[in-house]
């Protein structure tokens, strides 16, 4: 077989696998204005359920029928009892909630089926190869091409030609009028969500014989699916189809001819589209609603004698703690201090300036790699590496922020993700410098005033000191006129612009400061851990730090510190007694996002100040009028953001 034809076939097959997942993701976003990170989990769940059905029955076709149905039931439960309660609260809370579900589904799959890679055999009727165009082609891969094209045609016909499609479009454009004409809007939109989940599950079933099954396959399909809908246009079926073919072919030829750059070029293409044409090839310009977030209004704790005494006692306890415990506990709390700095740096962006970054791990990883690489390859002292890492990450944040702060909402969220993944691809592929997937270690930990950081008690006091300095510095920054400007932008950017503030410049400054502090945290992590790998740059690391911030309470500084402690204690301590720590923390985070938007610190500070804890918005409300009573449905995207089939607004 001609090598070019073989690569083209591989690209088309991968593209069709992506289409099934990306089409469902685009369907949910385009019609319901809902961003779901759990979509990859439904892909994984569909594959594993199919594996279970085939193991019991030996029938692949029965699995292709049963697995999506079971997955849809799970998806409908998520939509009805969880997602529907957050429609009013914007994209960020949807992202956070569904990210929590990825923990739950990942742990469930690993617990039921184990962590080993499994293979689902294709049906006997599709085994073997077929001679075609001068070469031999896998029968099953040809089936995938035909199956994907058929599903694309069916989706187009339903959305464009059927009465159901007309009802869906009417519900998106004006749900109140559609309900007045007799349409059951909640059921209609639950059906849309279920259809998107079904497409993801079908994609998992048909992909299993090609890609295999393993915990983590959800993330491996989710990010390429997001790239597809960014390129094709969110909410456009035609865009999803064209985007999958472009990404699939580019991925196949890139891996074959420029393997060192293939991953980088895909993420670069995503970033370019977000900057130049954020609506994608066939999306609607301006059709993406802003990604809202909930930062519960809270009064600062007054500096009463009671508060001062509590603060003094806490500091005294932390200062004495390492003298009373063994090395393991010292090391664990040192790690908490490092990630507390990281979380506070994100809180400056998210909680105080209203910039929902999903790529903040890029700066943390850049700081860590700077210290390790300078030490391992050039023999520089670790503290010299930290001194270089902070301005370097500040410069990187300024350059990346220059492009990112020009956007807003979901585009900003996706753009920060794209740039972070660009850095991840560099670390993953530049093996000579970064060690690639194997990672790289620092030769020796440096000393400080004659004491070696290899001693846990020394590392404890160093990280404690840096954490305290960062907290005090950020607290003073927030209390300054500059901090007030950040908060004003978060509350009402248009008003700040109207009274003469250059909001873009202030957002860039916040982004730069946050990036520099994340780089400092990364540098300290390199000294603490003595080793770094590309995982510190991965999008899931950005998700973890988002969990820490929101779990503790965004917009509080102390909340992210507390959230870091809760997350890492559960990860390190609970995991030593219970293998299901991911499910436990996922459930806790889901509950926190739904019912306690002020986070744990919001509850504690309210108790200390004698106030009632902040309450979330009324459950079940949608951006327009709410569906708590079950008689309304989400109004979907902003005007012009509804689902398109041929690029025209519906």
- Identify whether residues 231 and 344 lie together within a single domain: no
What is the domain extent for residue 84? 3-276
pLDDT at 619 over 50: no
52 band by pLDDT with thresholds 50, 70 and 90: very high
Question: In this structure, what DSSP letter does residue 378 have?
Answer: H
pLDDT tens, position by position, 25-39: 888 877 777 888 899
The reply to whether 24 and 168 lie within a common domain is yes
Inform me whether the pLDDT recorded for 630 exceeds 90.
no
pLDDT surpasses 50 at 632: no
Span of 156-160, 301-305, 373-377, 457-461 with lowest mean pLDDT: 301-305
225 and 357: one domain?
A: no
pLDDT in tens, 83-101: 888 877 777 888 889 999 9
Please provide the average confidence, as pLDDT, over all residues in the chain.
Answer: 84
CATH at residue 212? 1.10.3470
Cα distance between residue 189 and residue 195, in whole Å? 10
**H helical segments located in 138-184:** 139-161, 163-173, 175-180
Confidence of residue 250 (pLDDT cuts 50, 70, 90): confident
Using a pLDDT cut of 90, give the percent of the chain over it.
49
What pLDDT is attached to residue 189?
A: 78
For a pLDDT cut of 70, what percent of the chain falls above it?
86
Domain boundary residue, one of 511, 539, 567: 539
Residue 230 has pLDDT above 50, yes or no: yes
Answer yes or no: is pLDDT of 160 > 90. no
Higher-scoring residue by pLDDT: 26, 459:
459
- Secondary structure element (H or E) that encloses residue 184, with its range: none
Asked if residue 548 belongs to a domain, the reply is no
Name the domain count of the chain: 2
Lowest mean pLDDT among 162-171, 545-554, 591-600, 618-627: 618-627
In a domain, 175, yes or no: yes
Please check whether residues 232 and 370 belong to one and the same domain.
Answer: no
Assess whether 239 and 337 both reside in one domain: no
* C-alpha closest to that of 375 among 513, 531, 502, 225: 531
The reported pLDDT for the residue numbered 640 is: 36
136: phi then psi, degrees, rounded to nearest 5: -105, 125
Q: Is residue 419 part of a domain?
A: yes
129 and 48 in one domain?
Answer: yes
pLDDT confidence tier of residue 308, bands split at 50, 70 and 90: confident
3-state helix, strand, coil in the chain (%, to 5): 75, 5, 25
Task: Identify whether residues 213 and 339 lie together within a single domain.
Answer: no
Looking at residue 20, what is its pLDDT?
A: 86
> Is 597 domain-assigned?
no
Query: Does a structural domain hold residue 589?
Result: no
In a domain, 316, yes or no: no
pLDDT of res. 456: 94
341 and 262 in one domain? no
Return the pLDDT at 620.
37
Closest of 95, 118, 120 to residue 222, by C-alpha: 95
The residue behind tokens 């976003």 is 29
Is residue 455 predicted with pLDDT exceeding 90? Answer: yes
User: Are 271 and 332 found together in one domain?
Assistant: no
Q: What is the mean pLDDT of residues 601-609?
A: 73
- pLDDT at position 181 is 61
- Which of the listed residues 476, 510, 539 is the one where a domain comes to its end? 539
Residue 589: C-alpha distances to residues 481, 553, 593 (Å): 33, 11, 6
**Residue 237: per-residue pLDDT:** 81
| CB neighbourhood size of 327 (10 A) | 13
The pTM for the full model equals 0.86
Element (H, E) at 451: strand 451-452
Burial class (CB in 10 A: 0-12, 13-18, 19+), 647: middle
149, 369, 452 from 345: Cα distances, Å: 46, 18, 27
Q: 390 and 485: one domain?
A: yes
Q: Does the pLDDT of residue 338 top 50, yes or no? A: yes
Boundary-marking domain end, from 539, 556, 585:
539
Residue 503: pLDDT over 90: yes
218 belongs to a structural domain: yes
Same domain, 270 and 418: no
As a whole number, mean pLDDT of residues 7-27 equals 87
The reply to whether 232 and 375 lie within a common domain is: no
Classify residue 36: in a domain, yes or no: yes
């Amino acid at each position: 077989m001609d090598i070019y034809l073989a690569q083209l076939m591989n690209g088309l097959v991968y593209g069709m696998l992506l289409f099934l997942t990306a089409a469902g993701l685009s369907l949910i976003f385009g019609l319901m204005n809902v961003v779901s990170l759990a979509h990859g989990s439904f892909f994984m769940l569909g594959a594993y359920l199919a594996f279970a059905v085939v193991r019991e029955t030996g029938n692949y076709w029965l699995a292709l029928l049963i697995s999506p149905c079971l997955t849809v039931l799970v998806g409908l439960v998520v939509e009805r009892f969880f997602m529907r309660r957050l429609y009013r609260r914007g994209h960020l809370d949807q992202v956070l909630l569904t990210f929590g579900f990825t923990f739950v589904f990942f742990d469930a799959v690993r617990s039921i089926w184990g962590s080993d890679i499994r293979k689902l055999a294709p049906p006997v009727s599709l085994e073997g190869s077929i001679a075609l165009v001068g070469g031999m082609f896998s029968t099953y891969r040809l089936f995938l091409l035909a199956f994907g094209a058929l599903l694309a045609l069916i989706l187009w016909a339903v959305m464009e030609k059927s009465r159901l499609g007309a009802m869906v479009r009417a519900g998106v454009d004006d749900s109140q009028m559609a309900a007045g004409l007799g349409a059951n809007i909640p059921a209609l939109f639950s059906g849309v969500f279920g259809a998107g989940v079904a497409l993801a599950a079908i994609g998992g079933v048909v992909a299993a014989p090609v890609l295999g099954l393993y915990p983590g396959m959800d993330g491996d399909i989710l990010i390429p699916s997001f790239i597809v809908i960014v390129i094709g246009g969110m909410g456009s079926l035609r865009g999803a189809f064209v985007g999958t073919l472009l990404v699939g072919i580019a991925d196949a030829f890139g891996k074959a001819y420029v393997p060192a750059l293939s991953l980088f070029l895909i993420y670069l293409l995503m970033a370019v589209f977000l900057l130049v044409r954020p609506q994608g090839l066939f999306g609607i310009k301006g059709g993406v609603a802003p990604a809202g977030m909930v930062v519960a209004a809270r009064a600062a704790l007054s500096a009463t004698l009671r508060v001062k005494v509590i603060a003094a006692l806490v500091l005294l306890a932390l200062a004495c703690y390492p003298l009373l415990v063994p090395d393991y506990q010292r090391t664990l709390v040192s790690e908490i201090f490092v990630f507390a700095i990281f979380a506070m740096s994100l809180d400056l962006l998210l909680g105080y300036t209203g910039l929902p970054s999903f790529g903040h791990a890029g700066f943390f990883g850049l700081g860590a790699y700077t210290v390790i690489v300078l030490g391992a390859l050039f023999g520089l002292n670790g503290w010299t590496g930290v001194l270089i890492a902070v301005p370097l990450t500040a410069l990187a944040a300024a350059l990346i922020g220059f492009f990112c702060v020009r956007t807003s909402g979901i585009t900003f969220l996706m753009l920060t993700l794209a740039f972070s993944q660009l850095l991840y691809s560099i670390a993953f592929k530049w093996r000579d410098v970064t060690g690639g997937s194997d990672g790289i270690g620092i030769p020796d930990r440096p000393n400080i005033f004659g004491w070696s950081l290899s001693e846990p008690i020394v590392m404890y006091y160093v990280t404690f000191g840096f954490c305290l300095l960062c907290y005090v510095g950020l607290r003073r920054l927030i209390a300054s006129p500059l901090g007030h400007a950040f908060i004003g932008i978060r509350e009402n950017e248009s008003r700040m612009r109207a009274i003469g503030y250059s909001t873009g410049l202030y957002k860039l400054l916040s982004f730069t400061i946050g990036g520099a502090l994340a780089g400092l945290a990364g540098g300290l992590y390199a000294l603490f851990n003595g080793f770094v790998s590309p995982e510190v740059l991965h999008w899931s690391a950005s998700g973890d730090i988002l969990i820490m911030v929101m779990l503790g309470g965004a917009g509080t500084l102390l909340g992210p510190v507390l959230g870091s402690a809760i997350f890492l204690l559960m990860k390190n301590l609970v995991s030593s007694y219970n293998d299901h720590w991911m499910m436990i923390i996922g459930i806790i985070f889901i509950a926190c996002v739904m019912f306690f938007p002020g986070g744990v610190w919001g509850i504690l500070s309210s108790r200390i100040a004698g106030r009632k804890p902040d309450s979330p918005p009324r459950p079940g409300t949608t951006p327009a009028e709410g569906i708590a009573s079950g008689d309304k449905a989400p109004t979907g995207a902003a005007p012009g953001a509804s689902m398109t089939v041929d690029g025209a607004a519906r």
